[in-house]
Amino acid sequence: MSRIEIEIHLERPPGVCLGFSIVGGTNVSRITDCRAIVITRITKDSFADRDQQLKLHDIILCVNNISFC
């Protein structure tokens, strides 16, 4: 299976929830071979849902220059 990596920028307005749930870290390493964070739910009409850059089951490899792999 091919792997596509894209860079996404989300700038959350103050007081607004991003609106997605994640799992990850050491409990996912058996699945993805790294400590990545996996998106498990995107709340309808949330910031992330309206932005439409994140998708269900996306793997987050890095946040603010902190790598999870």
Domain boundaries, the chain: 20-67
Q: pTM for the full model? A: 0.74
pLDDT value for 22? 92
Instruction: Find out whether 18 and 47 touch, Cβ atoms under 8 Å.
Output: yes
Question: For residues 36 and 59, what is the distance between their CA atoms, to the nearest angstrom?
Answer: 6
pLDDT value for 46? 93
Instruction: Find out whether 15 and 38 touch, Cβ atoms under 8 Å.
Output: no
Q: What is the pLDDT of residues 29-66, one digit of tens each?
A: 555 566 778 899 999 999 999 999 999 999 988 888 88
